[in-house]
Amino acid sequence: MHTAEIRRRFLDHFEQAGHTVVPSAPLLFDDPNLLFVNAGMVPFKPYFLGQETPPWQTATSVQKCVRTLDIEEVGKTTRHGTFFQMNGNFSFGDYFKEGAITHAWRLITGSVADGGLGIDADKIWVTVLHSDQEAREIWRRVAGLPDERIQDRGLLDNYWHMGVPGPGGPCSEIYVDRGPEFGPDGGPVVDEDRFLEIWNLVFMQEEIANVRAKDQFDVIGELPNKNIDTGMGLERVAYLLQGKGNLYEIDEVFPVIEKASEVSGRTYGKDHADDVRFRVVADHVRSGLMLMGDGVTPGNEARGYVLRRLLRRAVRSMRLLGFEDPALPLLLPVSLERMKASYPELEADFPRIEQIAYAEEDAFRQTLGKGTQIFESAAVKVKESGGSGLSGEAAFTLHDTYGFPIDITLEMAAEKGLSVDEEGFRSLMAEQRSRAKADAKAKKGSHADTTVYRSALDANGPTDWQAYTTLTTESRVQALIAGGATVPVLGAGSVGEVVLDRTPFYAESGGQHADAGHLQWDGGRAEVLDVQRPVRGLVVHQVRVLDGELTLDAPVEAVVDAEWRLGARQAHSGTHVVHAALREVLGPTALQAGSYNRPGYLRLDYGWSGALSPDQLHGVEEASNRALRADLPVTAKTMSLPEAREWGALALFGETYGEDVRVVEIGGPWSRELCGGTHVDRSSQIGTVVITSDGSVGAGNRRVEALVGIEGFQYLAKERDVVRQLTDLLKTQPEDVPGRVNDLLERLKAAEKAAEKIKAAQLLGAAGDVAASARDVGGVAYVGHHAAGAAGGDVRTIALDIRKRLADRPAVVVVIGDAGDKPAAVVALNEAAQERGLSANDLIKVVGAQIGGKGGGKADVAQGGGTDVAGIPAALSAVEAALAR
């Protein structure tokens, strides 16, 4: 049974049982504590935590998930994968244990002909919490399971909670016996390879507090509404029903292994090391496809770094399999063919996805080239020093600074007969991970505690948010917060947070900066510094009290700065216009991948490989301003997400949308996007769009910046003034300025070259006099010369010229220049001096010690530099003293 068919049967089963089918949330979910959705229940957390009222009593979903904590273990075991799908059914105060068990039993044991999965009931075992006799009795009664196939387990295995105070409860796990060839008998408590867990039913019935560990917490009471949360691993069920040994061999994954085997010439199943590489390729290509499909782009931080690592590990593994040509163009389409049955949107978006992926592979191949050069240099130094191994620090630098994988370092070192200090490398990697975890923990801590905001929401309900309709509201203070706790008053000069019953202020979201403005009341005034939504439904204003005292329950007038809001509306609408113009000029793959706007300014990241030509950039700017001149209507409509997608509205990557969404149109279908921001009424109100820059922000991604409104006019006015000043200085017309400036630059370059020639001739002309000043030191002719104003190239020329003039005797020449206040030194010895046992490479180190630098070279010529010009006389004297010794 294909994976997509299992998915369909699961959803159909619960839909027929009255559940609402909820589409999978994007992998990028609005949760500050998660990089990606990592469990099927994540999108439902607000309902389980009581932060929001669920729109349905029962629901079902197949949720896309990504876990990357064990990324290094992928392929080494049959259990670890990064992307997976979690089937789930949920009840919010509707059915409880018996309903959950009954639904699960009917699906897994129901006949294939009737829409079930057809698993043999005699092969099913379950576990329950040792104290949950109710669940045991239901399994006996509903499923007819004998006691020996219902096994007790403790809190560590069969109790679920989120790790924080809140809901919790016992769970019951469903296992399938795969047979004696997979391990010993005795049920899941004996062996979890033979007895494969496929489904976990969580019975959320208790409120817990004082959570100390997974099995250490206090139960403080029963939940008023008992809920059900289940999770069935789709990939596990697939490889069970398809008769495969692991998740890498199911129909959605194995075709990538087959393609990798075909192009590499290696066979899957013959060599463990190669099998690991094949599995890494298959897992990471699929995970990369799904992440890019949800809008993640490769980068050096957070989600982008995870994607970059997945793609590069896949490419690296193909190289280790002996395939050195571009691999993703061959593998990614194979994964698309297998995944589009469940996620048809991937096919429509594939031109953008492949553009990003192939650009990342090209960049990584260049990185491999650079890393190879660095490695070769490090290997030569090891051999020259008589060593036999590359240090852990060198391997770590290759990995961390140049992105050079340790596997390739090990491979290349072995080819040269060198070892690598893997223990030292792993130690440095562990230190880096520890720092990263500590940093992540610190960042998480700054976001995680929302207790005070939840309390305000529970006590007063959601904020009446009126940002779309007005700039002022008569409001009442519902909560005052300072230092993470509620306070009764905010005094003059203090900074704190204010929750109002209603507000006209736009809270920062969707790339739009928060509104500016003020609160005023009888006897006081406060400046609004920031506006955020720390929990859904609650708008919180950060304020600085300017006069008076702000107290609880005080009536206030909330006033948005009208000029600020106008600029913000112009910038946000301008962002939509520039996005549409990019797609008009470049094509549909130029999709927005992130944005930021504030009054007068916008920044938009978009998927594209390669720099835009001047004509393309001008085309985007002209298309934008033509839209402004056309005075296009700007409208907003609210509809369901499926309706919006059918209507052709663009859902921007990285954003999270609810059941109902707001679609903003500019000129009808020309620009139609899901957006919660504030906008102008007609495009002409944007004023102007002036593109100020376009540059790369990573492989396959670029960033355009622009000014709008009065800020755009001011920018153009400054440029006009600069041109006017140039025309006055050059006595020419504006259109002739570039030519005149180019002529001046050419003349300046010619003059500089002439001056350099004159200077070089003067320096060389003095070389004869300098050579004549040679003194006998230790039996050799020594010249120590400070060439004032000379740079590195001139210094070398002078030193070699002087050495040539002293060919009749052993000679040592040291010349040090000081151009740019940086010493540049050259030591030159003739053959006769070298026969005396002297070396330029040794003497340059004597020089370096005095001028704050270092250098190197061969026995006849060595050169170096430093930082201390004042040390030049001491350097010349030190060489003389060394020769005398």
pLDDT at 500: 96
Element (H, E) at 661: strand 660-666
Residue with tokens 């944007």: 686
Which tokens sit at 529? 């510094």
pLDDT at 788: 86
Per DSSP, the residues of 25-90 read PPSS-S-TT-SS--STTGGGHHHHTTSS--S-SEEEEEEEEE--TTGGGBTTBSS--SEEEEEEEE
Annotated binding site for Zn(2+): 572, 576, 675, 679
Q: What is the band of 373 on the pLDDT scale with cuts at 50, 70, 90? A: confident
Element (H, E) at 619: helix 614-629
Together in a domain, 481 and 496? yes
CATH code at position 671? 3.30.980.10
Element (H, E) at 520: strand 517-521
Domain final residue pick, 417, 440, 463: 440
Q: Which residues contact 270 (CB under 8 A, 6 or more apart)?
A: none
Annotated binding site: 572, 576, 675, 679
Q: What percent of the chain has pLDDT over 90?
A: 62
pLDDT at 445: 37
Together in a domain, 171 and 289? no
Together in a domain, 477 and 373? no
Tell me whether residue 201 is in a domain.
yes
Taking the C-alpha atoms of residue 591 and residue 652, their distance in angstroms, rounded to an integer, is 8
Domain final residue pick, 560, 584, 608: 560
Together in a domain, 542 and 600? no
pLDDT at 53: 83
Taking the C-alpha atoms of residue 645 and residue 643, their distance in angstroms, rounded to an integer, is 5
Tell me whether residue 747 is in a domain.
no
Per DSSP, the residues of 671-711 read EEEE--S---SBGGGG--EEEEEEEESSTTEEEEEEEEHHH
Tell me whether residue 679 is in a domain.
yes
CATH code at position 474? 2.40.30.130
pLDDT at 449: 62
Average confidence (pLDDT) over 722-751? 90
Rg for the chain, CA atoms, rounded: 35
Q: Which residues contact 335 (CB under 8 A, 6 or more apart)?
A: 255, 256, 285, 286, 289
pLDDT at 363: 84
SS3 271: coil
Together in a domain, 569 and 555? no
Residue with tokens 């069920």: 237
SS3 582: helix
Domain final residue pick, 690, 717, 744: 717
| Average pLDDT, rounded, for the chain | 89
Give Cα 53 distance to the centre of its chain: 32
Q: What is the b/e burial string over 637-647, where b = at least 16 CB atoms within 10 angstroms of the residue's CB?
A: eebebeebbee
Query: What is the sign, positive or negative, of the torsion defined by CA atoms of 238, 241, 242, 244?
Result: positive
Tell me whether residue 725 is in a domain.
no
Tell me whether residue 446 is in a domain.
no
Together in a domain, 223 and 82? yes
Tell me whether residue 593 is in a domain.
yes
Q: What is the band of 546 on the pLDDT scale with cuts at 50, 70, 90? A: very high
Taking the CA atoms of residue 869, residue 875, residue 877 and residue 879 in that order, the dihedral angle to the nearest 10 degrees is -160
Together in a domain, 424 and 500? no
Least confident of 370-384, 547-561, 653-667, 768-782: 653-667
Domain range enclosing 811: 766-884
pLDDT digits (tens, 9 = 90+) for 712-730: 999 999 999 998 999 999 8
Together in a domain, 357 and 460? no
Together in a domain, 110 and 24? yes
Tell me whether residue 732 is in a domain.
no
SS3 607: strand
Together in a domain, 582 and 706? yes
pLDDT at 656: 52
pLDDT at 442: 46
Together in a domain, 167 and 144? yes
Closest CA to 19 of 78, 62, 71: 62
Tell me whether residue 799 is in a domain.
yes
Least confident of 173-182, 411-420, 653-662: 653-662
Q: What is the band of 446 on the pLDDT scale with cuts at 50, 70, 90? A: very low
What pTM was computed for the model? Answer: 0.68
pLDDT digits (tens, 9 = 90+) for 583-606: 999 988 888 888 899 999 999 998
Paired residues of 496 in beta bridges? 543
- 103-107 contacts: CB < 8 A, separation 24 or more? 103/13, 103/14, 103/17, 104/174, 104/199, 104/201, 104/230, 105/142, 105/143, 106/13, 107/9, 107/10, 107/13
CATH code at position 874? 3.10.310.40
Q: Which residues contact 193 (CB under 8 A, 6 or more apart)?
A: 178, 182, 183
pLDDT digits (tens, 9 = 90+) for 454-496: 889 988 889 999 999 999 999 999 999 998 899 999 999 999 9
SS3 211: strand
* Number of structural domains found in the chain: 6
Together in a domain, 340 and 467? no
Taking the CA atoms of residue 806, residue 812, residue 816 and residue 817 in that order, the dihedral angle to the nearest 10 degrees is 20
